[in-house]
Amino acid sequence: MGILENIFTAQFIYTIIRVSTPLIFASLSSLIARRAGVTNITIDSTMLMSALTGVLVSAFTGSLWLALVSGMVVGIVMGIFMGYFHIMMNTNMILTGVAINTFTNGAVVMILYAFTGDKGSSSMINSLGVPGLEIPLIKDIPILGEILSGHNIFTYVAFLMVIVVWFLMYRMPLGLRIRAVGENSSAAKSVGENPTKIKLIALGLSGFFASLGGMYLSMGNMQVFIVGMTSSRGFIGVAADAMGQGNPVGAMLASLLFGSANAVGNVLQINSFSTDVVMAIPYVVSIIGIIVYSAREKQKRESKIKRAIAQAEKLQGV
Amino acid sequence: MSNKQLNQVFSVVKTFLAIVIAMVVAFVIILVVSDEPMEALYAFLLGPFTSVRRIGNLIENTIPLIYVGLGVCVLWATGKRTLSGEGCYYFGGLMAALASIKIYFIHGKSLTVTSMVIVLVVCGIMALLPMIVNLKYGTDAFVVSLLFNYVMFYIGNYIFSNYLMDITSTSSGSYPLPTDSFLPTLIPGTKVNANLIVALLMIVAVWFFMYKTKWGYSIRLVGLNPNCAKYVGINVFAVCILAQFIGGAISGFGGGMEMFGRNPRFAWFSLTNMGWDGIMVATLAKYKPQYILFSALFLGYVRTGADIMNRSSDVASEIVMIIQAVMILFIGANSFLAAMQQRVRVKYNEKAEKEA
């Protein structure tokens, strides 16, 4: 019963939250872009670039704040850069994404090599990290304290950002504009909005959240940058957002599901189980989730049309 | 000059300019990064042609790019863009290894053929799911195919680690593939084998299919205008499924052929990224199968050159990714040179009106 003993512990739930943190950032990043009508597939590379920026700036300036700010700026710039090529230069979304991903994967190695002389990781230089946080009262509660307290600050920021994004999307004019542009760009334009500007802002925000996720990996979870350390978390973020149906809370829950599968996979691996099946579960679940959701939407649309036709026939009959 | 000719001219000019811009960017980076830039440039540009082995490398690098490029040409021809090539390429390699190692009652070249037929069918079927749910329920084909690639990888990795992993060997990988199933080598001293001929034939076959058969024409018509295709009585569902099947099968075929000769063991521990490379090859070729050979050769050339530069100078080979990215950005950018094209078009039309 080694597996179950390993799973039903406070430590395990703590791990789930830790593993899910970058996924939450990535899913929020995807959410804002997708709500503005752009499928952002550059999240993964944006995370990687910000992770590297944070590490290098903190190592060479010794300032944590400067590192965080420059990481965020790089993220925002990458988001807007994608927007520039996709929206202003009228490039296909997928092509822009492929180009930016390829560019970043190459540039990251070249920059790392230029600054540290190493092509794999930044272990040659000493970079700073964001510390963990013990929450005063909660940490004394027996099990809950073990689960909730002592996480990295980024983790608390991630959950805070879920609320912020929800507020932004549903309670603020900018969120309404983003949703309007995403649903019908022409209609938004007809009432005097500037879709290009709003999409660029949304992509900038998307890049901002991706940068937080990236910096968590290299400055929170670990204090070193490793090439490929995002290991497709950006794409998992897109999946989590698709599964959450564009709702920040849904995206968070989906991220936690992906994180759980990851954590269970790790436990199974220790117990020499095949991890592949477990690792595949979140993808299968989200594919099914997306299919069920769109099937239901389609059914709704069709029944609406049927009702309208029936009504029209009735009116004609009279 | 008619509008069509003008478009063609600008398409060529744009592609050429994109390559030039990318190469200039690369040169600038090399000049900045390297202590001995001239040697690095020499290795990069001429390195691939300095020995038979290196030319062999160039051709070896080109062949898989041809397959994935052709795969994307067909996958994207219906206008519904999926990423299935990535998963199929991986799965093709895996299925080829699985079939040739586990089928013990067939030997020699007939084993190769049998394995490749299995690869074609399995990879074609594996590519269908994103398209079927897209057509039936209107789900985003791109996102579903992206996710399904990971599912394919984990299924593949499960098969690999449970049925093919050779624990006794020092090099981590599958059991060695039977050597009598390997393809004959064409150029002695290199690993260039009969796969090259198959790849060239595949280009001709895909071109013929897309431009000279009824099905290929239907696929292209659906890509141009699905509503029109529906109106003239084309079964859009069947056509999309067919394109997806063929595209996936070709991508998988490329992965499978890599196994016979170039790799004695199957040793892919992650997705290969070849699906994304295929998008680049196909974009560079303007999604036309007849140009795939050139775009694949070009990408194979810059990659081989970058590899050689990496080994003989202080510039990292990753510079090749920056070249590719810049190229794709400018070729894909529809607004790049659009204003100039418009001006030229207006000028020609005015001239034509005056003459008339």
Nearest residue to B91 (alpha-carbon basis) of B25, B37, B159 = B159
Tell me what the mean pLDDT of segment B198-209 comes to.
94
Chain B residues touching A289 at Cβ < 8 A:
none
307-336 in chain B: CB under 8 A from chain A: 316, 318-322, 324-326, 328-329, 332-336
Tell me what the mean pLDDT of segment A95-121 comes to.
88
Of A99, A119, A290, the CB nearest to B144: A290
Measured between CB atoms, does B137 come within 8 Å of chain A? yes
H-only helix segments in chain A: 2-7, 10-35, 43-61, 64-83, 93-116, 142-148, 153-171, 173-183, 185-190, 195-216, 233-243, 248-270, 275-317
The pLDDT-based confidence of A2 (bands split at 50, 70, 90) is low
Tens-digit pLDDT profile for residues A37-71: 888 889 999 999 999 999 999 999 988 999 999 99
Tell me what the mean pLDDT of segment B80-108 comes to.
89
Give me the number of domains chain A comprises: 1
Tell me what the mean pLDDT of segment B71-81 comes to.
91
Which tops the pLDDT comparison, B300 or A277?
B300
Tokens representing B207 are 């071109």
Residue pair B90/B156 in contact by the 8 Å Cβ criterion: yes
Query: What's the pLDDT score for residue A67?
Result: 93
Give the residue from A34, A39, A86, A98 with the most B CB atoms within 10 Å of its CB, the best one to mutate: A98
Shortest alpha-carbon distance between residue A67 and chain B (Å)? 24
Measured between CB atoms, does A194 come within 8 Å of chain B? no
Query: What's the pLDDT score for residue A271?
Result: 67
Query: What's the pLDDT score for residue A6?
Result: 65
Measured between CB atoms, does A6 come within 8 Å of chain B? no
Query: What's the pLDDT score for residue A248?
Result: 93
Tell me what the mean pLDDT of segment A146-159 comes to.
87
- Inter-chain contact B318–A109, Cβ cutoff 8 Å? yes
Of A91, A94, A276, the CB nearest to B81: A94
Of B81, B162, B316, the CB nearest to A110: B316
Query: What's the pLDDT score for residue B66?
Result: 94
Tell me what the mean pLDDT of segment B14-20 comes to.
86
Q: What is the percent of chain A where pLDDT is above 90?
A: 38
Query: What's the pLDDT score for residue B76?
Result: 92
Q: What is the percent of chain B where pLDDT is above 90?
A: 31
- Inter-chain contact A106–B320, Cβ cutoff 8 Å? yes
A133's enclosing H/E stretch is strand A132-133
- Give residues with Cβ within 8 angstroms of A283, minimum separation 6: A239, B147, B148, B150, B151, B154
Size of interface A-B (CB pairs under 8 A): 135
Tokens representing B279 are 């998008």
Query: What's the pLDDT score for residue A1?
Result: 46
Query: What's the pLDDT score for residue A3?
Result: 62
Chain A residues touching B79 at Cβ < 8 A:
none
- Inter-chain contact B325–A100, Cβ cutoff 8 Å? yes
Measured between CB atoms, does A90 come within 8 Å of chain B? yes
The pLDDT-based confidence of A201 (bands split at 50, 70, 90) is very high
Q: Tell whether the model's pLDDT for residue A19 goes beyond 60.
A: yes
Shortest alpha-carbon distance between residue B203 and chain A (Å)? 23
* Residue range of the domain that includes A196: 2-317
Query: What's the pLDDT score for residue A318?
Result: 62
- Inter-chain contact A102–B161, Cβ cutoff 8 Å? no
| Count of positions (residues) in chain B | 356
Chain B residues touching A38 at Cβ < 8 A:
none
Tell me what the mean pLDDT of segment B13-30 comes to.
87
Distance CA A288, CA A173 (A): 33
Distance CA B106, CA B113 (A): 10
Measured between CB atoms, does A41 come within 8 Å of chain B? yes
Tell me what the mean pLDDT of segment B157-186 comes to.
81
Q: How far is CA A73 from CA A27, A172, A209, in A?
A: 19, 23, 11
The pLDDT-based confidence of A4 (bands split at 50, 70, 90) is low
Query: What's the pLDDT score for residue A297?
Result: 82
Only one residue has tokens 């100039």, namely: B340
Query: What's the pLDDT score for residue A133?
Result: 78
pTM of the complete model: 0.86
Query: What's the pLDDT score for residue B1?
Result: 64
Shortest alpha-carbon distance between residue B326 and chain A (Å)? 7
- Inter-chain contact A98–B333, Cβ cutoff 8 Å? no
Ranking A15-29, A75-89, A119-133 by mean pLDDT, the lowest is A119-133
Q: Tell whether the model's pLDDT for residue B46 goes beyond 70.
A: yes
Only one residue has tokens 């990295």, namely: A152
Of B137, B151, B322, the CB nearest to A294: B137
B102's enclosing H/E stretch is helix B84-102
The pLDDT-based confidence of A272 (bands split at 50, 70, 90) is low
Tell me what the mean pLDDT of segment A160-178 comes to.
92
Tell me what the mean pLDDT of segment A107-131 comes to.
86
The pLDDT-based confidence of B31 (bands split at 50, 70, 90) is confident
The pLDDT-based confidence of A5 (bands split at 50, 70, 90) is low
117-136 in chain B: CB under 8 A from chain A: 133, 136
Ranking A6-15, A206-215, B88-97, B189-198 by mean pLDDT, the lowest is A6-15
Chain B residues touching A286 at Cβ < 8 A:
147
Q: Tell whether the model's pLDDT for residue A125 goes beyond 90.
A: no
CB contact burial B34-66 (16+ within 10 A = b; e otherwise): beebeebbbbbbebbeeeeebbbbbbbbbbbbb
Q: What is the CATH number of the domain that holds A56?
A: 1.10.3470
Chain A residues touching B33 at Cβ < 8 A:
110, 114
φ, ψ for residue B185 (rounded to 5)?
-75, 140
Query: What's the pLDDT score for residue B107?
Result: 81
Query: What's the pLDDT score for residue A252?
Result: 93
Query: What's the pLDDT score for residue A273?
Result: 65
ipTM of this complex prediction, to 2 decimal places? 0.82
Tell me what the mean pLDDT of segment A257-277 comes to.
77
Q: Tell whether the model's pLDDT for residue B204 goes beyond 80.
A: yes
